[in-house]
Chains A and B, each alone.
Chain A
């Protein structure tokens, strides 16, 4: 589905879709009809300039949410959608050939489903978003349902054609006569030679039973139907009258077949004349279905309607990354929502290891991508100015297939992202060059920032290189990490925790919220602290602290 979207709109490449969690959101939608499923797999973003269209889509989604939460009929609408089958192939061919009974049955079943759905939508009046109810197909349905019972069953019923009914009645009469004649013959046979036939007027006799065999062979009513080494099977042969009846029945059967074909031909023509309207109804049902799927997702995940300002900005209040939130909940942990406000330029998140920097970046990408595809977003409130592209670069994004090292892979991705960006691009960069040596990595990162500052992009990045966040023009954020935690409370909490539970306790105490930094706030020295808390050997921790202190003294000495 989405991987080729970049070639369509240049908006989102597959890797960004995956890393932000947006693809999970799309694949987690549960449309109920084949038409809704098709819309979900062809989902497209609203591009800058299409703000009004996006607002209209969000209006519809808001309507769907209201319908789902307020209308008792919504559940029945979903039930009516569930059984629908895509018959577009049948409809596409009904101009050129006669539809089979199975195809006519499927057409009738779909029309019945549509009629039910239409009735439900009418009952809800204006509550159905966009008026996406199927069209009235009553006329065609009447043609396929001659007795008006509106049952989903289908057959070339006698009611379709007077001639068909007559032919069938005639054949049935002949059949009764034929069976009666055979029964009479079988009774004569039994009386004359003591041979009894089964319900199919046949019997098989062992060769060892010579008397019975001789009797059967000499009975004029029987003929030999099959033989093997040990037995002979006999069947009743019809008399003159019976043969005549059988021949007339064969001829009638052909006529019946022809008449059935005529009925199917007439019905096919009726279906063909309405094919365009049926397809239009499928389209509408698909729109309603897809909207309701998005609305169910929004309601289940506490999503809100984003504001769509005309400018290029991203403002998020208490945003949640849905995949991470689900994973944390699965482990009994709470997700701490994150707020941020980005405009054109570079914003840089620094902060403690384990502090949720990467998740914050993914969340920003997810909210932006969801809003731009006409979803409600997992925030308390959000304003999303449309981007022309969103690219996410995740550190350590090794592509084993290309045999590139971690760093090489990043640079390759960066080059691709920069060359693909233009206009109102959004770049999300997580720990670029993080795996290389600090002096070179820091220099590269600064170079990148200087480059990005000159461009009209929204750029959000994380780094742990010193001095990057303090560059002129860079908006600094930092995760609070453990900075707000009382050290004694921390020690107490960890002391109580079982050794295997420490990581969990620690991430429970971690404050993932972002706060703005100004100037040289410095990188928080949480790494050593966390290592100490997690019980790394004291000797190692002490050495690291000493080494950091002497480095600081050297800098002050200069």
Chain B
């Protein structure tokens, strides 16, 4: 069916929520059911603790993850005893979370389970590879509910973005906010520039720590690192470098609205800003739109591929939006990315 056919194009897929209650776990459950029905062997991990019966923040009901027989999953030692599924412990990963060591398990008997995976991106990548090695056709990572804390670009091949009425009671607002995230995820990558030397110049002048300003048009003579670890309050200095001919500004940390607002508006279009990945961009939609209008250009070293967007028309506040209209509006706003309401997918 819909979601699986989009997700199955990738080996490791993260599910990321735009906010709490946007239906991320519902989408995960639907994917698991579909994949099981299609005979795929799944690996399921999570970027933190998930699978509790109640959502810890809002107290709304939240299904545990149902593991079909044969599925692989990460379960912390402290929650092993609370799982209905019959879980064979395949390996102790040596990675620890707040609920004890993360165990790599295989469902010997189908049932519900409490999933929690490693917190670090490196740990997540390692576990995903391990599950693939143990025969998982596809690995699903139940990711963060905040799109900015997702470790997606490094651990997974693509994300499924969950959005919905939890963001706003207005369909147009949900669509615009979702499109904003989709635009940031889809920013062009550095490799597309065709400037071979730029990655090396960034490494040399930034050392992973400093802001690096690089000459426009590959003019390496203008390259230099600024003695500032983050962009906080650095707008003036960066502006001065752009005025001197810097064509690219690499930020090792976050790209914030505050930083961009600190640069003289006329200078902004003079350079392209480079960040590691889209999760480093913290610019709210209104500011982003305005600065894009002024010629703001941003590139990422590693982008995030969105496999599909799921919408949840129900809000924890008690109202719901028209599902058909919501799917249509989000689809129109993001352009080219499949959008669906998982709960209605079977209808």
Q: In the bound complex, do residue A168 and residue B109 qualify as a contact, i.e. CB atoms below 8 Å apart? A: yes
Mark B274-293 against chain A: 1 for CB-CB distance below 8 A, else 0.
00000000000000000000
Q: In the bound complex, do residue A197 and residue B92 qualify as a contact, i.e. CB atoms below 8 Å apart? A: no
A-to-B contact residues, CB < 8 Å:
83, 85, 100-102, 105-106, 109, 152-157, 168, 172, 196-200, 203-204, 206, 208, 228-231
Q: In the bound complex, do residue A228 and residue B323 qualify as a contact, i.e. CB atoms below 8 Å apart? A: no
Q: In the bound complex, do residue A198 and residue B346 qualify as a contact, i.e. CB atoms below 8 Å apart? A: yes
Q: In the bound complex, do residue A196 and residue B346 qualify as a contact, i.e. CB atoms below 8 Å apart? A: yes
Q: Which residues of the other chain, A, contact B89 by a CB distance below 8 angstroms?
A: 101-102, 105, 153-155
Mark B107-132 against chain A: 1 for CB-CB distance below 8 A, else 0.
01100000000000000000000000
Which chain B residues (1-35) contact chain A, with CB distance < 8 Å?
29-30, 33-34
Q: In the bound complex, do residue B322 and residue A208 qualify as a contact, i.e. CB atoms below 8 Å apart? A: yes
Question: CA–CA, A387 to B321, complex, Å?
Answer: 84
Given A155-B108, A200-B33, A231-B314, decide whether A105 and B346 contact each other with a Cβ distance below 8 A: no
Q: Which residues of the other chain, A, contact B313 by a CB distance below 8 angstroms?
A: 206, 231
Q: In the bound complex, do residue A102 and residue B91 qualify as a contact, i.e. CB atoms below 8 Å apart? A: no
Quick one: closest A residue to B316, CB to CB?
A: A228
Quick one: closest B residue to A195, CB to CB?
A: B347
Q: In the bound complex, do residue A100 and residue B108 qualify as a contact, i.e. CB atoms below 8 Å apart? A: no
Q: Which of A83, A109, A168, A229 contacts B320 (CB 8 A)?
A: A229
Q: Which of B29, B94, B323 contacts A206 (CB 8 A)?
A: B323
Q: Other CB < 8 Å A-B pairs besides A85-B92, A109-B92, A153-B90, 14 of them?
A: A102-B80, A105-B89, A105-B92, A106-B92, A153-B89, A155-B86, A155-B87, A198-B30, A199-B34, A204-B343, A206-B322, A229-B320, A230-B314, A231-B320
Q: Which residues of the other chain, B, contact A228 by a CB distance below 8 angstroms?
A: 314, 318-320
Mark B85-110 against chain A: 1 for CB-CB distance below 8 A, else 0.
01111111010000000010010110
Q: Which residues of the other chain, B, contact A157 by a CB distance below 8 angstroms?
A: 88, 108
Question: CA–CA, A45 to B347, complex, Å?
Answer: 77
| B135 at interface by CB-CB < 8 Å | no
Q: In the bound complex, do residue A199 and residue B322 qualify as a contact, i.e. CB atoms below 8 Å apart? A: no
Given A100-B81, A153-B91, A168-B109, decide whether A203 and B347 contact each other with a Cβ distance below 8 A: yes
Q: Which residues of the other chain, B, contact A208 by a CB distance below 8 angstroms?
A: 322
B-to-A contact residues, CB < 8 Å:
29-30, 33-34, 37, 77, 80-81, 86-92, 94, 103, 106, 108-109, 313-314, 318-323, 343, 345-347
Question: CA–CA, A92 to B286, complex, Å?
Answer: 62
Question: CA–CA, A482 to B289, complex, Å?
Answer: 73
Q: Which residues of the other chain, B, contact A101 by a CB distance below 8 angstroms?
A: 80-81, 87, 89
Interface centre among B77, B106, B321 (most CB of A within 10 A): B77
Question: CA–CA, A154 to B89, complex, Å?
Answer: 5
Quick one: closest B residue to A194, CB to CB?
A: B347
B277 CB to closest chain A CB (Å) equals 33
Question: CA–CA, A85 to B92, complex, Å?
Answer: 10
Quick one: closest A residue to B90, CB to CB?
A: A153
A163 CB to closest chain B CB (Å) equals 16
Interface centre among A156, A172, A208, A230 (most CB of B within 10 A): A230
Q: In the bound complex, do residue B37 and residue A199 qualify as a contact, i.e. CB atoms below 8 Å apart? A: yes
Quick one: closest B residue to A253, CB to CB?
A: B84
B140 CB to closest chain A CB (Å) equals 16
Quick one: closest A residue to B78, CB to CB?
A: A102
Q: Which residues of the other chain, A, contact B346 by a CB distance below 8 angstroms?
A: 196-199, 203
Q: Which residues of the other chain, B, contact A200 by a CB distance below 8 angstroms?
A: 29, 33
Q: In the bound complex, do residue A155 and residue B318 qualify as a contact, i.e. CB atoms below 8 Å apart? A: no
Question: CA–CA, A337 to B81, complex, Å?
Answer: 61
Quick one: closest B residue to A100, CB to CB?
A: B81
B28 CB to closest chain A CB (Å) equals 13
A260 CB to closest chain B CB (Å) equals 9
Q: In the bound complex, do residue B343 and residue A198 qualify as a contact, i.e. CB atoms below 8 Å apart? A: yes
Given A206-B323, A228-B318, A230-B319, decide whether A196 and B91 contact each other with a Cβ distance below 8 A: no
Question: CA–CA, A150 to B51, complex, Å?
Answer: 32
Q: Which residues of the other chain, B, contact A100 by a CB distance below 8 angstroms?
A: 80-81
Q: In the bound complex, do residue A230 and residue B320 qualify as a contact, i.e. CB atoms below 8 Å apart? A: yes
Q: Which residues of the other chain, B, contact A196 by a CB distance below 8 angstroms?
A: 346-347
Q: Which residues of the other chain, B, contact A197 by a CB distance below 8 angstroms?
A: 346
Q: Which residues of the other chain, A, contact B94 by a CB distance below 8 angstroms?
A: 83
Q: In the bound complex, do residue B88 and residue A155 qualify as a contact, i.e. CB atoms below 8 Å apart? A: yes
Question: CA–CA, A154 to B318, complex, Å?
Answer: 45
Interface centre among B33, B34, B80, B88 (most CB of A within 10 A): B88
Q: Which residues of the other chain, A, contact B86 by a CB distance below 8 angstroms?
A: 155-156, 168
Q: Which of B33, B318, B320 contacts A199 (CB 8 A)?
A: B33
Q: Which residues of the other chain, B, contact A199 by a CB distance below 8 angstroms?
A: 30, 33-34, 37, 346
A29 CB to closest chain B CB (Å) equals 21
Quick one: closest A residue to B66, CB to CB?
A: A200
Quick one: closest B residue to A230, CB to CB?
A: B320
Question: CA–CA, A134 to B343, complex, Å?
Answer: 57
Q: Which residues of the other chain, B, contact A105 by a CB distance below 8 angstroms?
A: 89, 92, 103
A-B contact pairs, 17 of them (CB 8 A): A100-B80, A101-B80, A101-B81, A101-B87, A102-B77, A153-B88, A153-B91, A154-B89, A168-B86, A198-B33, A199-B30, A200-B29, A203-B347, A229-B319, A229-B320, A230-B321, A231-B320
Question: CA–CA, A212 to B34, complex, Å?
Answer: 25
Q: Which residues of the other chain, A, contact B81 by a CB distance below 8 angstroms?
A: 100-102
Q: Which residues of the other chain, B, contact A203 by a CB distance below 8 angstroms?
A: 343, 346-347
Q: Which residues of the other chain, B, contact A102 by a CB distance below 8 angstroms?
A: 77, 80-81, 89, 103
Question: CA–CA, A172 to B33, complex, Å?
Answer: 18
